[in-house]
Structure 1
Amino acid sequence: MSDVLLFDLSQHLEKLFSQQRYDAGFALGRHILRYYPRHLATYKQMGMAALAKSMWEDSIDLLQRALSIDPEDIQMWEALRSAAMATELQAEAALAADYIKDLHATSEETTPVAAGHDAARQQDWVRAYEAYRAGYAQHPQRMDAALGLVTALFHLEAYDAALLMTNHILEELPYCLKAHWQSIRCAHLLQDQTVDVQRHLRIARGIDPDGRYLLRWFDDVQEEKLAHPRALIPAWDESERWAYHAATP
């Protein structure tokens, strides 16, 4: 079977779900995860589709996997809260609500994590650092605060501290995509030979092979180097109809 661009199959997956062709969409999603078992975009698309189909448990499973990779995605937190409420998982729903409230933060919000997000949007990195540091001290399980702290430290050129923080994040979330990219960026600027950059790259490229998230998150990335998707995957035979089971990342 010939290879095609992963980007094209991902676009086709989005189209299938938008047309409510869920059986075909889940089959294609499984096909993608067979070759890219941690592909973030696919987990998100399948999680949102499972929610639309009222497949609550599947949706929770897929969204939790995706959020362990990208814990700053407010759309996925909103979807997870809906699925958790539908299944009366109060703790999961409450956690999602906390993330949603803080990620939606404005300058009028009072929690430290919310203040950090607001300051970061305004690129006030000193204020963001102080707020994220306070928020993370209060809630060390909040990975959006931890990632925000890394971003603030990076912009303040405290690369050693940022790198140390990414290590803490990856102890909790081994496949957190932004933490892997920030580790690579800090190691490059510090010329730190002790960082296993190739390992970070291997994991990051397995999650986001074409660097779509890299372009979205970091303004200093040279877009021309990532302008054309290159990741390949065996073509999908739409006649395949695999039973849906959540893939293990």
Structure 2
Amino acid sequence: MARIAVRVYNNEINDLIDHGQIDEAIAHCRHILQTYSKHVETYRMLGKAYLEEQRYGDAADILQRVLSSIPEDFISQVGMSIIREDEGNMDAAIYHMERAFETQPSNHAIQDELRRLYGRRDGLEPNKIRLTRGALARMYAHGNLHDQAIAELLAALSEDPQRHDLLVLLANMYYHSMKKVEAAETCTKILEKLPYCLVATSLLVKILEESNREEEAKPFRERWEELDPYAAQIDSNTHDTEFVPDQAVTLIRLDWEPGAYGEEKGQPAWASSLGISIGGEDRSAEAVPDWLSDTGADQPEPSESPFGGSEEGEAPDWMATPSGSNEQPEDDLGLFPSEGEEEVKP
């Protein structure tokens, strides 16, 4: 049986989604997760596949888990905006689209979509989308203007301390400015709320290992490797996963049988305007395998904490969040909390 690099496999899955072969893409995602059960990029592809098939309940659950690991993820923010608008929650839809805009402020499609959402909520579309502090900070960061980015981030966080996406960027800026104490403190703060945040975990590993504190770094390294198996292949010559060769992590490719999961679906025009392919009827009631059945498809009401636990079923240990709590999770047992960040001051 043929083996395939995990990165190459994820790229193939993305191509399948873009060409409307959603059922095959979902099958391959599930196959990868049987081996690498916490691989964030595969969850991201799975959420995108559910979104494009308009299985919004499943998509919301997965995309929110991705956002708890990668709070700034562009695709997940756009996807959650689409889902919340479909639910009629315009404040949450705008909140997520604003986060997507901050990630790509020069994206004209996102600007147009954000104006449309404002118009639908307020009755009048603004002529121009103003840059937020978060967007400005990211522009500084892309230009390697670390001190300016830090100043904007601190100002934004003084207004909204719960912006985990900005905290992640702040930790990065501190690290690249050689302010490792501040970076470590920021990572620790993030991990208290989002214990499987990918960037915070990887930065903390680097800081501890660079300080010859390998034993303290060990549990964080193990978690990093769960989120990204390529992290296990880092050595003295490859200081980050991006430098690890694709073939360093492989698995047996699923021999998928066409037609076993239904037909390919068409694509609405509004999705194309955002560069997203959506297809298929709602199949949220379709049975899912045991490893995915307890992710908590029911979403809490807007008044509940965005990190609250699911009311349906009992989550497996690696997804567990404190039961009966309206606070953001502070344990380190779960990969992703069952709800995302859209209700944090939408």
TM-score band w.r.t. shorter chain: 0.7 to 0.9
**In structure 2, what is the equivalent of residue 122 of structure 1?**
143
Q: TM-score w.r.t. structure 2 length? A: 0.62
Report the 3-state secondary structure (helix = DSSP H, G, I; strand = E; otherwise coil) of the residue aligned with 1:67: helix
Structure with the higher helix share, 1 or 2: 1
**In structure 2, what is the equivalent of residue 24 of structure 1?**
24
Equivalent position amino acid for 1:197 in 2: A
Deviates more, 1:125-134 or 1:89-98: 89-98
Report deviation, 1:125: 1.0
Give the distance between the partners of 1:51 and 1:100, measured in 2 at CA: 16
Map 1:29-178 to 2 at 5 A.
29-105=29-105, 109-178=130-199
Gaps of 5+ in 2: 107-128, 262-285, 296-334, 336-346
Report deviation, 1:126: 1.0
Give the distance between the partners of 2:62 and 2:89, measured in 1 at CA: 16
Give the distance between the partners of 1:173 and 1:224, measured in 2 at CA: 23
CA RMSD of the aligned region, Å?
Answer: 2.9
- Indicate conservation of the 8 Å contact 1:180/1:201, yes or no: yes
Q: Deviations over 1:9-51 (max 9, x none)?
A: 3234234323322222212211111221221221111211212
**In structure 2, what is the equivalent of residue 217 of structure 1?**
none
Change (3 A) 1:22 1:29: same
Report the 3-state secondary structure (helix = DSSP H, G, I; strand = E; otherwise coil) of the residue aligned with 1:233: strand
Structure 1 segments of 4+ aligned residues over 6 angstroms from their partners: none
Equivalent position amino acid for 2:204 in 1: S
Report deviation, 1:156: 2.0
Which residue, out of 256, 273, 288, partners 1:244? 288
Report deviation, 1:7: 3.2
Give the distance between the partners of 2:5 and 2:211, measured in 1 at CA: 35
- Indicate conservation of the 8 Å contact 2:230/2:241, yes or no: no
Give the distance between the partners of 2:14 and 2:90, measured in 1 at CA: 30
Change (3 A) 1:57 1:117: same
Equivalent position amino acid for 2:86 in 1: A
Give the distance between the partners of 1:4 and 1:78, measured in 2 at CA: 30
Change (3 A) 1:115 1:13: closer
Deviates more, 1:96-105 or 1:237-246: 237-246
- Indicate conservation of the 8 Å contact 1:47/1:63, yes or no: yes
Give the distance between the partners of 1:180 and 1:208, measured in 2 at CA: 11
Report deviation, 1:54: 1.2
Report the 3-state secondary structure (helix = DSSP H, G, I; strand = E; otherwise coil) of the residue aligned with 2:207: helix
- Indicate conservation of the 8 Å contact 2:7/2:246, yes or no: no
Give the distance between the partners of 2:241 and 2:88, measured in 1 at CA: 44
Give the distance between the partners of 1:205 and 1:9, measured in 2 at CA: 18
Larger Rg: 2
Q: Deviations over 1:119-165 (max 9, x none)?
A: 11111111111111111221122112101111121122110110010
Change (3 A) 1:222 1:170: closer
- Indicate conservation of the 8 Å contact 1:113/1:136, yes or no: no
Report the 3-state secondary structure (helix = DSSP H, G, I; strand = E; otherwise coil) of the residue aligned with 1:229: helix
- Indicate conservation of the 8 Å contact 2:8/2:246, yes or no: no
Q: TM-score w.r.t. structure 1 length? A: 0.83
Which residue, out of 229, 232, 244, partners 2:247? 229
Report deviation, 1:56: 1.2
Change (3 A) 1:118 1:225: closer
Report deviation, 1:206: 1.7
Give the distance between the partners of 1:11 and 1:151, measured in 2 at CA: 26
1:183 matched to 2:204? The reply is yes
Change (3 A) 1:232 1:110: closer
Identity %: 22
